[in-house]
Structure 1
Amino acid sequence: MNSPLSYVHPTSDSAWGTYLSQIDRVVPYLGPLARWAETLRRPKRALIVDVPIELDDGTIAHYEGYRVQHNLSRGPGKGGVRFHPDVTLEEVMALSAWMTIKNAAVNLPYGGAKGGVRVDPRRLSRGELERLTRRYTSEIGLLIGPTQDIPAPDVNTNGQIMAWMMDTYAVNTGHTATGVVTGKPVHLGGSLGRVKATGRGVFVTGREAARRIGLDLQGARVAVQGYGNVGGVAAQLFAAAGARLVAVQDHSGTLHREAGIDATALAAHAQAQGGVAGFPGASPLDDEAFWDTPCDILIPAALEGQIGADRAARLQARLVLEGANGPTVPEGDRVLGERGVLVVPDVICNAGGVTVSYFEWVQDFSSFFWTEDEINARLDKIMVEALARIWDVADLHRIPLRTAAFAVACERILMARQDRGLYP
C-alpha cells in the first residue's frame, strides 16, 4: 500500500490528481498566503485499518477501511463515510480534501475529513453490515469524536449506519455523545431536513445561477445522473419550480422522455425497485446516449470522474450543477469553459448536506432542536450568500466559479494556518 505522500504528484488522471490540479490553478490568486499552499497538497493524517468480521456462514472476511483528515486548521474534521467496492486510499484523500474546501467555501467551522470501506454492502446481510460498521468504527475510534472528527453518511451509508457508529463510540468511551456523527435518525439527535439537504442545496444554487445567466426555470429541461437523496430531491424541487425532467441515469439504467418524467413518481419507483430501470413513465435509453440528451441543466449526482473532455464536448446543457463530488475532471472543465457552459462546482453546489450536518451538530451540543422550516431558511440563506461571495470573486478576477470557490476557501484555510503558526 502506497503512503499518502506518494500521491502528491500522481501521474494518472485520478481524483487526487484532479484535486491537486485545482490547487495549482488557484495559487496565483492567493497572494502572500501562497507560501502556505503546500499544506493543501498534503493530508494531515491518513489511517488504514483492517476490518475483520465473522460472516453469517461462520467464515472470517477482511475488508480494508480508511479515515483521512486532510486539514484541521479551521476546526474538527468533517466528512462522510462510504461503503463501496471501489474505495481506495487515494479516492478518500481527494474526498477529504474537497471537504476541506467545501467547509471553508460556505464558512463552516470545520476542517475536512472522509472515510470509507472497500466493500459491496449489497452482498452483506443486515447483521454482517452492522458488524462491519461497528468494527470499522472501533478501528477509527482513535481519530473520531464530537470535537475531533465527525463522520456522516455518504455513498451506501445512511441514518442506520450512523446510529450504529454512534452507539459503538458510546460503548467504547462509556458515554453517549450524539454529536460524534451527523445524519442520524431524528429520534437519536438527528436534524430535520438533513436527508434532503444536499439535493436542496443543489436546487438553491442552481436557481440562483439560472437567474444570473437569464435561464428561466419554467419549462427548462433537466437531466440528472444519480437519483437518490441528491439527484432525486433536486429533480423534484426543479420540477416544482416548473422545470421538466427529460433524462435520468443511475446504476440500473437510463431513461428519457422529452415531454417530462414525473420526478416524484420516479423517486417512489426507484426507492421500491432499487433503481430507475423499468419505470413505466419513460423510455429506456443507451447509457452513453445520456450525455447527448438536449437539456438546459445537467446535474451529475453520482460518482466522481464522469465528465471528461469527450463528454464535455458533447453536452448540450447551459448549466452544470455538480451534485456529486468531483464529477468533472480538469480536461472536461477546460472544454466546458471554452464552450461557455457554466459549472457550479461541487464544493459549493452540494454543500447543503454538510451545512445541515453543522446545524445537527450545533443542535446536539445545545439539546435544542429547530423546525424544518427554520432549517431550510437557514440553509437557503447560507447557500445564497456563499454563492454570491464566490460569484463576486469570479467576476473580479474573470475566472471560473470553481477557481473562485477555491480562492475563497483557500484564503480562509491558509489564513487560519498562518495565524495558528507551526508548532514547535
Structure 2
Amino acid sequence: MSNLSYIDENNGAWQTFLAQIDRVAPYLREDLQDYVDTLKRPKRALIVDVPIIMDDGKIQHFEGYRVQHNLSRGPGKGGIRYHQNVELSEVMALSAWMTIKSAVLNLPFGGAKGGIRVDPRKLSTRELERLTRRYTSEIAHIIGPQKDIPAPDVGTNANVMGWIMDTYSSGQGHTVTGVVTGKPVHLGGSLGRVKATGRGVYITGCEVAKKINLKVDGAKVAVQGFGNVGSEAANLFHASNAKIVCIQDHTGTVFNENGIDVPGIIEYVAKNQGVAGFIGATKIDDENFWDVEMDIVIPAALEGQITVERAERLKAKMVLEGANGPTYPEADDILTRRGVTMVPDVICNAGGVTVSYFEWVQDFASYFWSEEEINERLDKLMIKAVADVWDCATKKECSLRTAAYILACERILEARKERGIFPG
C-alpha cells in the first residue's frame, strides 16, 4: 500500500479536528466559552446516492457528501474531492478546517466540503461528467453563491467545476458563475487560481523562515504530493535557489541529494502522470522519505501522514502543511518538543481559498483582475496572516497552530454570539 493512502490509526481526521478544538478552548475569551461546542457540530451534513449509467450501459451507484460545518461568518466555502477513500467523517473534518482557514485569513466565508467515494482514474471523461452532473443535482438545494460555493480538491479540476456551474445554472434558468470557484477562466474563473495554494505555501514558508533565521537559499526541501500544490511550491522554492532533494507522489519516491531539476520533473509528470521513472533522481522506498536529510518538508498529499513514529524520525527544521490535516496532534507535540517549527495548514495552504474569494468577488462585479494583481493581493493577505499568527503565538506563548486557532475561533464564535441563537 502506498504511504499516501489514508492512515486511520484509530484516530481519524474528525477526531484530529476535535482534539485541536479541545486544545485551543482554554485560550479563548471567557465570554465565548459557552459557544465552543458550536465548532464541534457541523451545521448540516448531506449524504446522497449518485447513480449513473456507465459507458457499458450498466447502472453504478456512488456515495456523495456535502457538509457545511459553520456559516456564522458567511456562505460555506470548500472543495469537492473525488477519491476512493472519501467518507463522511473525513469530509466533516475538511469542512471544519475550511471554517478555521477562512477565519484566520479573515475572509467572509464559513466552512464546507464535499466529496464522492470514487477513483476518478477508473472512469471515462463521459462517466465523470455524468457523475458530476448527477451529484450536483442532488446537492443543488444547499449550494449557491450566497449559500455554499464549491471548488476543486483532490481528484477534481476546473473542468469538473464547469460541469457543476452549468448543471446548477440550468436549474436556475440563467448563468450563475459565482456558484463555484476554480472554474475555467473563460467561464468566469480567476487568473492565478490553479497555482494559488502552492504559492501560499511558499509565501508563508518564506515569512516564517525569516523569523526562525532559516535561509531559503540553499535549503534542502522534501515534497510529498506533486499535484497543483506540491509542484508549484517546489517550483517557487527551486526558483529561490532551494534544493528540492526528494519528491513523493502516488507512483513512488525519487531522491537527489544535489537537488532535483524541478521544471524537468514537472514536465515529466505532465507526460507520465507521476514521478516514478524520472531519470534525474534515484528511486527510494516510500517510507524512507521521512528519513531524508532536509531543512523543510512540505506534506502536500492527504491527511494523516505525519504519525508519531514519523515525527520522531523527521529531520526537518520546518514543516509546511500543504495538505489539510497531515499531522496527528500527538505527532504535533513531538515536533514541538524537538524544536521543529510547524506552519499549520489553516494558514499555510490558505492561498487557494483566498484566490477563490477573489474569484467570487470578481464574478459578482463582472470585472476581472490581472494575474499580477491577484498575486499581489494574495501575498499581502498571506503575509498579514502570518504576522498576526506569529504575534499571537508570541503573546500567548503557544505554537503557531494554537495561535491560528485562537484567532480563528474567536472570530467565528464572536460572530455566533453576536448573531444570537434562534429562537431566543
TM-score normalised by the chain length of structure 2: 0.97
Alpha-carbon distance in 2 for matches of 1:125, 1:362 = 34
Change in CA separation of 1:192 and 1:11 when aligned onto 2, cut-off 3 Å: closer
The superposition leaves residues 377-399 of structure 1 with CA deviations (integer Å, 9 ceiling, x where unpaired) of: 00000000011001001001110
Amino acid at match of 2:12: S
For 1:47-76, what per-residue CA distance to the aligned partner results, in whole angstroms no more than 9, with x for missing partners? 000000000001000000000000000000
Give the letter for the 2:224 counterpart.
Q
Task: Within 5 Å, give how 1:60-209 maps onto structure 2.
Answer: 60-209=59-208
Q: Which amino acid aligns with 2:375?
A: N
Give the deviation of 1:11 after TM superposition: 10
Alignment of 1:143-292 (within 5 A): 143-292=142-291
Does 2:18 correspond to 1:25?
Answer: no
Is the partner of 1:141 in helix, strand or coil? helix
Letter in 2 for 1:206: G
Question: Within 2, Cα distance between the matches of 1:262 and 1:164?
Answer: 36
- Which residue matches 1:7? none
Looking at structure 2, the residues matched to 33 and 177 of structure 1 have their Cα atoms a distance apart, in angstroms, of: 37
Separation of aligned partners in 1, 2:84 and 2:9:
23
Task: Give the Å deviation of 1:242.
Answer: 1.0
Q: Kindly provide the amino acid, as one letter, of the partner of residue 109 in structure 1.
A: P
Query: What one-letter code is carried by the residue in structure 1 that aligns with 2:140?
Result: G
1:308 aligns to what?
307
The superposition leaves residues 391-424 of structure 1 with CA deviations (integer Å, 9 ceiling, x where unpaired) of 0010011100000000000000000000000111
Deviations 1:81-112 (A, max 9, x none): 00000000000000000000000000000000
Mapped partners of 1:371, 1:191: distance in 2: 9
Encode CA deviations 1:246-295: one digit per residue, 9 max, x unaligned: 00000000000000001111111111111111111100010000000000
CA offsets 1:317-375 (integer angstroms, 9 cap, x no match): 00000000000001110110110000000000000000000000000000000000000
> How many residues are paired up?
415
Structure 2 residue aligned with 1:6: none
Cα distance in 1, alignment partners of residues 388 and 196 from structure 2: 21
Identical residues among aligned pairs (%): 66
Q: Which runs of 5+ in 2 are unaligned?
A: 1-7
Aligned-residue Cα RMSD (Å) equals: 0.9
The residue number in structure 2 matching 1:16 is 14
The ranges of structure 1 where at least 4 consecutive aligned residues each deviate by more than 6 angstroms after the TM superposition are: none
**Counterparts of 1:198 and 1:34 in 2: how far apart (Å)?**
33
Measure how far apart 1:12 and its partner are: 3.1
Matching residue's letter, 1:16: W
Distance, in Å, in 1 between the alignment partners of 2:221 and 2:10 is 32
Structure 1, gaps ≥5 residues long: 1-9
Aligned to 2:401: 402
Corresponding residue SS for 1:422: coil
After superposition, the C-alpha distances for 1:203-256 in whole angstroms (9 at most, x for unaligned) are 000000111100111110000000111010000000111100000000000000
Q: 2:363 — aligned with what?
A: 364
AA at the equivalent of 1:185 = P
TM-score (norm 1): 0.97
Residue-by-residue CA offset, 1:26-48 (whole Å, 9 max, x unaligned): 00111221110000000000000
Which residue is 2:3 aligned to? none
Query: Secondary structure at 2:77's aligned position in 1?
Result: strand
Equivalent residue runs for 1:48-59 within 5 Å = 48-59=47-58
Structure 1 CA distance for aligned equivalents of residues 15 and 33 of structure 2: 19
Letter matched to residue 296 of structure 1: D
Number of the residue aligned with 1:420: 419
